[in-house]
Amino acid sequence: MTDYKAIFGKKIKFLTTDLTMSTATEGELFYSDTDSEFKVGVKVAAWAAGEAMSTAREGTMGFGIQTAAAAAGGENAVGTVLDATEEYDGTDWTAGEGIGTATRLGGAAGTLTAGLIFGGHATVDRTEEYDGTNWTAGNTINTGRHGMAGTGIQTDALAAGGSPTPANTNVESYNGSSWTAETAMSTSRLYSAGAGATADASLITGGIASTPPTVSTANAESWNGSSWTEVANLNSARYALAGDGTQTAAIIFGGSITPGAGRTVNTEIWDGSSWTEVNNMATARMALGAGGTTAAAVGFSGTTPPVSALTEEFSETVTLKTVTDS
C-alpha cells in the first residue's frame, strides 16, 4: 500500500461493496472485501444494435447526438431522392417534417432542435434550418456542391470540400444568416467527414483526394478560424465515412477504404494528437449518417450494399476487471 501511494499519490481504497460500472472511473484501483481481490476500472468501447430506420437510404444528412439525432434526405433502394426526415431518441425512429427539397449527399451540422443541412446532389446551393419541428430555407451557399463535410452548429457552421471540379478545397462558414468564403484547405477532398463544436474549431478527415483517378486519403486537417494545419493521418484511408465530435475529441467510422475494395467497419477515435482504432461496427457500410460524441455516437443508414436502414450505437463504458499477477 505504501509503495502504491508513494508512486501514485493516493491510497488503494478498501471497499466492503464493489463500485458499479456507472460509478467506477478508468484506472481506479480498489480492494473488494466482497470478493477478496483487487479490481480496477477498465474503459470498454463497443457498438450495439439500435432500432432500424423506417426507410432504408444512403447519402443521408445526419446531425445531433445519440439520444436526439435526425436523418434528412438521402436516396432509397430504387434510386429515388428523398425529402423524408426521421428523428431518433436513442430508442425509436419517428417521422419528422420533410425537407423543402429532396436531396442527398449534402453537409450537416447542429442539434435535433437547431439543425442545418446545406448543398447536396441536385440542390447544390440550398441551405435549410430545422427547429425540431419545421424546416426553413436559409440563404444559399456561395459555391454549390455535394459531398462536403459539415461541422459546428446552426449559427456557426463550416462547409469544407466537395464536388464539382471534381474534388475541391473550397471552405465556407455560416453565421446563421449568410455564408462567407474562408481559407481553402490544403487537400482537395470529396466525401469526407467533419467534427467540431464551432466553425472555428473544426477537424476534416478522409475523403477522395482526387478524381480521376479516384484515390481515398487518410489526411486530416484542423481549422482554427484563420488557417489550416495538417494533423496525424487516419490509420485507414477512406471516403464516404461518417463522424462527429469535436476538434480534439472526434470519432469516425465506416466508409470505403479504397474505391472498389468494399465497405469497412473500422472505427477510430481522435484525442487531439493521434488516432486509435477501437472496436468495429457490426455492419460495414458507406455514405451513412451520424451524430454524437466519442463517448456516445450513433451511425445510421448507408449502403452495404444494398441500401441500409440499420442503426448502430457506439458507447464507452467503464467495466470492472480483477487484477491478477499475470
Phi first, then psi, for residue 121 (nearest 5°) are -80, 130
CB contact burial 180-195 (16+ within 10 A = b; e otherwise): eebeebebbbbbbbbb
Asked whether the bond before 305 is cis by omega within 30 degrees of 0, the reply is yes
CB within 8 Å of 189: residues ≥ 6 apart? 149, 160, 161, 167, 169, 204, 206, 207, 208, 209, 217, 219
pLDDT digits over 246-273, tens only? Answer: 999 999 999 998 766 689 999 999 999 9
The single-letter code of the amino acid at 195 is: A
Chain segment 143-182, per-residue pLDDT in tens: 999 999 999 999 999 999 999 777 899 999 999 999 999 9
The three three-digit cell numbers of residue 131, written as one number = 427547429
**In the structure grid, which three cell numbers stand for residue 207, read together?**
475523403
Backbone φ and ψ of 8, nearest 5°:
-105, -10
Question: Which residues, in sequence order, are CB contacts of 294 under 8 Å at separation 6+?
Answer: 245, 249, 250, 251, 269, 270, 316
What average pLDDT is seen over the chain? 90
**What is the 8-class DSSP label of residue 232?**
P
Q: Would you state the pLDDT for residue 7?
A: 45
Q: Cα–chain-centroid distance for residue 95? A: 22
Helix ranges restricted to H, the chain: 2-8
Q: Which residue has the cell 495538417?
A: 230
pLDDT of residue 58: 98
DSSP code for 184: P
Q: What pLDDT score was predicted for residue 259?
A: 61
Position 197, amino acid: A
Ordered domains of the chain (ranges, CATH): 2-44+318-322 (no CATH), 53-309 (2.120.10.80)
pLDDT tens digits, residue range 29-55? Answer: 767 767 777 777 777 789 999 999 999
| Rounded Cα gap, residues 56 and 168, in angstroms | 29
